[in-house]
Amino acid sequence: MNSKKQTRREFIKTTSGALVTIGAAASCAQAVRKEGRVGDSSQPASKALKMPKRVLGRTRLSVSFLGFAVFHLRHPAIYRRAVDLGISYFHTVVDSNTRKLLAPDEYNLDAFAALRPFRDRIVVSHMTVDRSSKPAMLKDLDGVLQQSGFGHLDIWYICCPSPEQLDDFSEAVAAARKAGKVRYAALSTHRLAQDVPQVTAPDSSIDVVMMSYNFLSPPEDREWLAKLHAAGLGIVPMKPLAGRFYEKTADRPDALIRWLAADLGVHTIPVGMSTVGQVEQNVAALQQPLSDEDRKVLKRLTAYTSPRFCRMCGACDGRCPQGLAISDLVRVAMYAEGYGDLHLARDHFEAIPAAQRRISCQDCQACSVHCPNGVAIRDRIRRVQELLA
Ligand code: SF4
Ligand code: SF4
């Protein structure tokens, strides 16, 4: 771990250029500073670049291997270039920054408006986060359809439901399908041991599964992925770039993308992209196979990222004697340092109960909680406390 810690003020100073905000102007200004004008293209022609396609499990939908994670509005030129380069899978979710700044019944309208001209050429998925009841799920679906003007969703995800909530979602999907609002149903999960038996059962309504999967995934996750694949489900990795810590080691995401592309069990990887340059760079990464040089990069990144990346496996749930929600706090640290997004980090930090935010890991001589995936729990939480408490 980095022994020279930055103060909050230093951190803000060094990352302010990388902060992601809801305003397109801020996003684009950052893009301009880092990579030239947002609409600039480093590639003279798209026909030189080929986008691999895969069939998304039993949906039989043909999707681009590189997908686009649409968290909030981007400059329309980015979407145009993405479609031009063959990206055909767009995954939308309303992130917490968006939710804070828009009225509850508004969604990422500018992103939807930018995508609408391409609707007949792209596969659109959306993730519903409110899993509290079947009417709440259907309300979110109706809201996104009304605001987006997409007509229907190709894939409708539910985020991390309990088994009972998944049953509610199945009923909601049946009603929505009958009404022509969705084509396929999907589950986003961190609890594979709980969910794989349910979604691979013969009567499951789920067609696609989003699971944490990247070069750091342990062997058991590869086994879960193989089971889902064998059952015919579409496989969409969550956090494919493992928290974006490659930027801290001055690496590019190419090796991470190629590592996933070498796995034929993976169908499409939704990646958030803020500039045309990033879109082109990620598509260009797919023009080469995984190389020995990539493996060296991944080895270096493993050493840096493993102590920092939480795959939300839940093994530490309830283990802190002080009652800290460890995975939530480690995720906050990832938003701050991996994504470089202090707004998002603060937003999630403030969602943690105030009593927990006051507990300090400084008071423990050593952490009594062990992460089986190598996360340096105490170090990560102390970092959050230094930056945000
Ligand atoms: S900190 Fe470790 S044990 Fe806890 S959820 Fe994350 S990966 Fe799992
Ligand atoms: S160091 Fe932090 S996470 Fe670990 S046991 Fe103490 S309070 Fe809990």
Task: Write out pLDDT tens, residues 59-76.
Answer: 999 999 999 998 766 678
pLDDT at 105 over 60: no
Per-residue pLDDT tens over the stretch 224-258:
999 999 999 999 999 999 999 998 888 899 999 99
- Which residues have C-beta within 8 Å of that of residue 121, sequence separation ≥ 6? 83, 88
Residue 344 lies in a domain: yes
- pLDDT score of 14: 40
- Mean pLDDT calculated for residue range 206-221: 96
Task: Look up the pTM and report it.
Answer: 0.84
76 and 124, same domain (yes or no): yes
**Nearest atom, ligand 1, residue 314 CA:** 5
Tell me, what's the pLDDT at 274?
Answer: 85
Q: Is residue 266 part of a domain?
A: yes
Is the per-residue pLDDT at 362 higher than 80?
yes
Distance 322 CA to ligand 2 centre (A): 7
Q: Where does the pLDDT of residue 113 fall: very low under 50, low under 70, confident under 90, or very high at 90 and above?
A: confident
Give how many domains the chain has, as a whole number: 2
The pLDDT of residue 73 is 62
Q: What is the DSSP letter of 48?
A: G
Pocket test for ligand 2, best of 330, 363, 371, 377 (most atoms within 8 A of CB): 377
Kindly tell me if the per-residue pLDDT of 10 is higher than 50.
no
| Ligand 1 atom at shortest distance from the alpha carbon of 380 | 1
> Is the same domain home to 188 and 224?
yes
Confidence band for 99, pLDDT divided at 50, 70 and 90: low
Q: What pLDDT score was predicted for residue 92?
A: 85
Mean pLDDT confidence for 310-334: 92
Residues 215 and 317 in one domain: no
322, 292: one domain: no
Residue 53, φ and ψ in degrees, nearest 5:
-115, 150
More confident residue, 192 or 70: 192
Measured from CB, residues less than 6 Å from any atom of ligand 2 are: 320-322, 324, 326, 359, 361, 364, 367-369, 377-378, 381
Mean of the pLDDT values across residues 115-139?
93
One domain, residues 142 and 282: yes
- Amino acid 77: pLDDT: 87
- Which atom, in ligand 2's list, is nearest to the CA of 360? 7
Domain range enclosing 55: 25-301
| Region 45-72 average pLDDT | 88
Q: Which value, in Å, is the radius of gyration of the alpha carbons in the chain?
A: 20
pLDDT at 144: 86
Whether residue 317 is found in the same domain as residue 208: no
For position 45, what pLDDT does the model report?
47
For residue 133, name the pLDDT band (cuts at 50, 70, 90). Answer: very high
Site to probe by mutation for ligand 2, drawn from 310, 317, 324 as the one with most ligand atoms within 8 Å of Cβ, is 324
Q: Calculate mean pLDDT across residues 350-354.
A: 88
Q: How far is the CA of 244 from the centre of ligand 2 (A)?
A: 25
Residue 107, pLDDT score: 53
Question: Cα(369) to centroid of ligand 2, in Å?
Answer: 7
| Minimum-distance ligand 2 atom for the alpha carbon of 364 | 6
Helix (H, G, I), strand (E, B) or coil at 143: helix
**Burial group, residue 19, by CB count within 10 angstroms (0-12, 13-18, 19+):** middle
Pair (291, 177) in one structural domain: yes
Which atom, in ligand 1's list, is nearest to the CA of 370?
A: 3
pLDDT higher than threshold 90 for residue 340:
no
**pLDDT tens across 142-170, in order?**
988 988 889 999 999 999 999 999 999 99
The H-assigned helical ranges of the chain are 8-15, 24-35, 76-84, 96-101, 109-115, 134-148, 163-178, 192-199, 219-230, 254-261, 276-285, 292-305, 326-337, 342-350, 354-357, 377-388
When the pLDDT of each residue in the chain is averaged and rounded to a whole number, the result is 84
Among 301, 319, 338, which residue terminates a domain? 301
CATH number, domain of 129, equals: 3.20.20.100
Does residue 217 have its Cβ closer than 6 Å to ligand 1? no
Residue 39 located in a structural domain: yes
Q: Is the CB of 141 under 6 A from ligand 1?
A: no
Using one digit for the tens of pLDDT, what is the confidence trace for 258-314?
A: 999 999 999 999 998 989 999 999 999 999 999 999 999 999 999 999 999 999 888
User: From ligand 2's centre to the CA of 314, what distance in Å?
Assistant: 16
d(CA 236, CA 253): 18
| Final residue belonging to a domain, choices 253, 279, 301 | 301
Instruction: Please tell me whether residues 270 and 378 are part of one structural domain.
Output: no
What is the pairing mode between strands 62-64 and 123-128?
A: unpaired
Return the exposure string of 353-378: e unless at least 16 CB atoms fall within 10 Å of the residue's CB, then b: eeeebebebeebeebebebebbbbbb
Res. 78: pLDDT tops 80:
yes
pLDDT at 213 over 60: yes
User: Exposure pattern of 276-309 as b/e (b: 16+ CB <10 Å)?
Assistant: bbbbbbbbbbbeeebeeebeebbeebeebbbbbb
What band does 9 get if pLDDT is binned at 50, 70 and 90?
very low
Q: Which of 250, 271, 301 is the last residue of a domain?
A: 301
- Whether residues 217 and 319 share a domain: the answer is no
For ligand 2, what atom is nearest to the CA of residue 382?
2
Tell me the C-alpha distance between 315 and 317, whole Å.
6
